[in-house]
Structure 1
Amino acid sequence: MKPDLATITAFVTVARARGFREGARLSGGSASRLSEQIRRLEAQLGVRLFNRSTRSVTLTEAGEGLLKRLSPAIDEMELALDVVNSFRDRPVGNLKLNVPTVVARLILPKILPGFIAAYPDIRVEILTEESFVDVLAEGCDAGIRYDEALELDMIAVPIGPATQRYALAASPAYLEMHGMPEHPGDLLEHACIRGRFSSGAIMEWEFERGDELIEVNPGGPLLVRPGGGTDLAIDAASDGTGIIYLFEDWLKPWLDDGRLVPILQDWWLQFPGPKLYYPDRRLVPSPLRAFIDYIKAHPWTV
């Protein structure tokens, strides 16, 4: 007997969710039913599709191959069914976005409340991730990243401010003890709070003034993971641990109340704001289309 559509859909759901419990949560079903469907599918095909342990569920080589072939067909079927949404008064469904922490912190709070109020039948799920990921493989509708992290063959739509800046700052106590840097090169003689990405790379500090662009790689007493460790880095800087280099908007409350003092302000690097990106395909899910239309109709205001 050939596997039915429900069983195939169960396989794709568990594979994308990387687990039965998460798959059940996303699909609104039960983990036990998904597990039974997968066992039946494996028996019908005569091959194991998942490696199961008490801690994880991962695809076998056969499972990886099957998912790769099935995913485009499942996506196309879901998009075809989504066409029905165009006949509703308001779009209905789920919108899952993959974004870095800085976007979740600085950009989305000014967009999502209005969007959710305008489209109450759309449920929004935000997944924070610092590295670039394959949004489709992660089960996301779209992602938000900066230009250097965008893949080719993606449609990109500006979201948030057109430009942003990196700011450099330290506490008054630190500057009183160690002095104010006068040039980016002076940072090599200071204690600096750095960020190390999950890849192991440490973020370079870049500065520009006119046509001059300078990169420095100073040392310091503290390394944090961007995103989850950023608030710790700010607290450490405001307590006098060292100099911090971060998005100006994120540091703004500390700069405004004097807990941090701006350094080398005429050297702060300006760069383009983030973009919403999604695959170039014929049909766009109606919740994502509604979100794209919303951000285009509501230009960013600071």
Structure 2
Amino acid sequence: MMAAFEVKEIAGKGQGLFATRSIATGQVILREKPLIVMPDRVFQMSDMRDLEDWLDRRINKLSSDQRSTFLALSDCSNGVSHEAEKTYSGIFFTNDMDFNGDAALFPTMAKANHACVPNADFVSRPGLGVQDLMAIRDILAGEEITLSYLPAGSEGSDIKAVRQAYTREWYGFQCSCQTCCLKGAALKLDEKMRQRIRSVQKREFEHVSLLELEELLVNLEKAKSKLPYQMDMNRLVFERALAEGNFKIAARIVALGHMYDTIVNPEDAVNSWDYALKSIFVQIGHQIIMFPA
């Protein structure tokens, strides 16, 4: 089968990934090993000089080809306008991704451009030592493959002005994706939805009603929030529904959770939601207990 994507130059944006054929929801677009993995203890170092020393040593261990690949990546640090001004730390922090709690550099995946409502997401496979780039909706041949660079639990779910301020500060560009270009009634509808998301995210979980939490899940899916974040929230709301004895919401969330797990873990023989999907829900007092069917 032909490769699912190709790297192409984009005027004003550098490089990007484009689908060479139709890609179905849940399909792995790219599986890539990290060039560099920076442990979180290093990432969190308070003295930048110590971090840069660690990075220097790691890059010096790369092969000539690997070093060339690293240096070809962009550096969005403040004031960098020429190749000669690039720094190791600037390149790394412009392109790094979360990898099971650490920071890692995947040079091909790093070429995927940002969109506030992306068509792909990355999923860590620490057991395999790889990161998967996966389609979170159907992607047409010729369509650009995009990721969200923003944190799902905060700015990534916020209104246009907040999202654009984030990309300007951290990546040196003002987002002009399809969602940021909405106007009129469509923009108002999107902004209202995101305000609802943020109003829930900013409150203590126990002070949010179950109906509000269910609405949050719906809105996160509409916003194409990062899959791991949606999965975490889905499980929390499911447990809350069981605790409150709400069978209808619990059942709806099981179906949603099963779908997400199928997308994120397509190679697993057992879906983590199979037990719930195949259980009988019995209400005892104010709680719902699951029994194997």
TM-score by length of 1: 0.24
Task: Determine which structure has more spread, i.e. the larger CA radius of gyration.
Answer: 1
TM-score by length of 2: 0.25
